Amino acid sequence: MVGEVRDPETAQIAVQSALTGHLVFTTVHANNVFDVIGRFLHMGVEPYNFVSALNCVMAQRLVRLLCRSCRHPAEVSETLLRESGLDPDLYQDQVFHDAPGCEECGGTGFRGRTAVAELLDMSDRIRQMILERRPTAEIKQAAREEGMTFLRESALETVFAGATTLREINKVTFVQ
């Protein structure tokens, strides 16, 4: 475990440990999994060493869960749909939930939390793209073609499952 990577020295230690056969877990502050690639390369890690050492990158955020005792189906305004990047015409039949608050949740409407996440798996194709220092947009596109679920989509799935609200995910994930 390497606490947090925020300088070239720590980045080198983490990558060297992984290259010499250790399973290394570390954290980096970044907006999403793709920014992690740039962070490491900007810290002077050789792309070849980086892709050889890396198995996968996961980004995650915590969202509060709606209280199961008082949650109920609720209308979502057209404005909120638009602010959330959802076309009102496409989502008019989507059921959303909200919770007014009760004794069980101390009047907050929320009880417990869950993680929403995205996972970038290092396929040969993506390794090659990092080696060639391809733009993030291209790597993102390749990951999408390989079936990756992005952070925002994962957050929306949690909303559509009735577990949390659009306002809640809008606080921790960006509209794409």
The binding site for Zn ion (CB under 5 A) comprises 67, 69-70, 102, 104-105
CB of 99 to Zn ion, least distance (A): 5
Query: What's the CA angle centered on 59, arms 54 and 60, to 5 degrees?
Result: 145
CB of 35 to Zn ion, least distance (A): 36
- Closer residue to Zn ion, CB minimum distance, 11 or 162: 162
- Closer residue to Zn ion, CB minimum distance, 11 or 67: 67
CB of 110 to Zn ion, least distance (A): 8
- Closer residue to Zn ion, CB minimum distance, 59 or 162: 162
- Closer residue to Zn ion, CB minimum distance, 8 or 107: 107
- Closer residue to Zn ion, CB minimum distance, 2 or 102: 102
> Which residues are registered as beta bridge partners of 118?
59
CB of 61 to Zn ion, least distance (A): 23
CB of 154 to Zn ion, least distance (A): 25
In angstroms, how far is CA 172 from the centroid of its own chain? 9
- Nearest residue by C-beta to Zn ion? 67
Say which residue the tokens 């954290």 belong to: 27
